[in-house]
A and B are shown apart, each in its own frame.
Chain A
Amino acid sequence: MERPIKVLIAKVGLDGHDRGAKVIARGLKDQGMEVVYTGLRQTPEKIVRTAIQEDVDVIGISILSGSHMELIPNLLNKIKENGLSNVIVIVGGIIPKEDAQTLIKMGVDAVYPPGSSMKEIADFIRKAVSEKRR
């Protein structure tokens, strides 16, 4: 059996609310993906290191603390510095629309606010991974 799509789900920074991240992680498991869940209070360094060792296709960050405009660009830099060129980055949480657009311009592949459907997220991941693998 070949390895399914592999996703890292993490919470970045000081933010104790992990229900959303857990729901997403389990939902993607149900969609047939292998989901490494590293939980709360991750630093961009740790996330990138785990992504390298696990060789994930996708990094999914959940953030509800409001500090996404600090932490996500920092993470994107670390991803670039470490040469993780093929990884897809998805952000979920309370992200205002304008910020979401800015993040996408910076290199985030998709932003999912509360209320997004699991199937929509999974379909996006499948499509993005198959495009990047080519």
Chain B
Amino acid sequence: MELLDEALKGKEMAIAKILTLLERGKGLDYLDYLASIGGKAHIIGITGPPGAGKSTLISSLIERYYTTRKVGVLLIEPSSPISFGSFMGNRIRIQRLYPEGRVFIRSLGSRGDLGGISRDSIMMIEVLDGLGFDPIIVETVGAGQIDTDITSIADTNIIVITPASGDDIQMLKAGIMEIGDIYVINKSDLYNSDVFVISLKNVLGSATSRYSLRPEIVKVSAIKGEGVDELIISIEKHWSFIKDNHRENVERRRRKLIELYLRNLISPLIVDTAKKVGLSSIKDAINSSHNVLKDALCHGKIL
């Protein structure tokens, strides 16, 4: 348990090694211990379409938080469906060198998980939480309209969009525009953002949200640092509103971890079955694939 002691002392090398163990399917004892002493941190989810400025915004949030708190940051990047590799460019927006143990940043690939987050990212949240990082900021893969899994793991969910994100018809759609606790209109220095804010206000005014708190809209220019103080106030307000029911959120994200673990286990079998099944009749293909899956589940062929 030397690694754990070092990590608890804030040694970044030890923290990093524990995270890598989890990525390799090991280190579950560390996870269990840290989860048992964790479950306290405020998890801030940052999601939105590619290029909206999520990483730049995170950089300004770190600047505000790190002086008084230990900040954990997880940057989830898209893994290639072709090579399984990943080009991880988010860290380029976070250039400052912070004192050791104050700001811990880790990039990880989506690695086959859909929905904007990944199984490993939840395990990493548990570890950083147990080590006393708070807040933990999680950036999703650049999101499409239904990449909403971040809702299961974040306490405060921030949707980052730009004034060029379309008209009110886009805002009325299901999915990502339903899950924000805070909507950040980033790059507000670039366009006529007031019109966009008014439409968004109109749309959100009549919407329902997961907590009985109306979502807030904050105009930001992350690159100029404008609106970031207002955003912090909004984040902290949201946290103090939901804090008392935080246990439920911790339970929900741990259940999500189990769900993603099971999906990871079963999805190779599904892909393989779909590749091999005969296609002379689609009806037969559906039936026989169904049987392959049933058989695998009943006779312990998975694992």
Contact = CB atoms under 8 A, between A and B. Distances in A.
A102 to B, nearest CB: 29
B64 interface: no
Contact residues of B: prevailing secondary structure: mixed
Contact of A2 (B25, B91, B106, B107): B25
Interface in A44-96: 45-46, 49-50, 52-55, 82-84
Interface string B1-36: 000000000001101110110011100000000000
B50 interface: no
Interface of B: 12-13, 15-17, 19-20, 23-25, 77, 79-80, 82-89, 91-92, 95, 97, 104-109, 111-112, 120, 264
> Which of A2, A30, A35 has most B Cβ within 10 Å?
A35
B85 A29 contact: yes
A15 interface: no
A111 to B, nearest CB: 23
Contacts of B85: 4, 28-35
Contacts of B91: 36-38, 50, 54
A82 B13 contact: yes
> Which of A25, A32, A45 has most B Cβ within 10 Å?
A32
Given A4-B109, A50-B91, A34 B86 contact: yes
Nearest to B86: A34
Nearest to A50: B91
A83 to B, nearest CB: 7
Nearest to B15: A53
Closest 6 CB pairs of A and B: A3-B23, A29-B85, A55-B16, A39-B92, A29-B87, A32-B83
Given A32-B80, A37-B91, 7 more contacts: A2-B24, A2-B25, A3-B23, A4-B84, A30-B80, A34-B86, A35-B85
Contacts of A3: 20, 23-24, 108-109, 111, 120
A28 B107 CA distance: 16
Nearest to B96: A46
Contacts of B92: 37-39
Contact of B83 (A31, A43, A84): A31
Contacts of B104: 53
A52 B86 contact: no
Nearest to B84: A32
A53 B25 contact: no
> Which of B82, B85, B86, B264 has most A Cβ within 10 Å?
B85
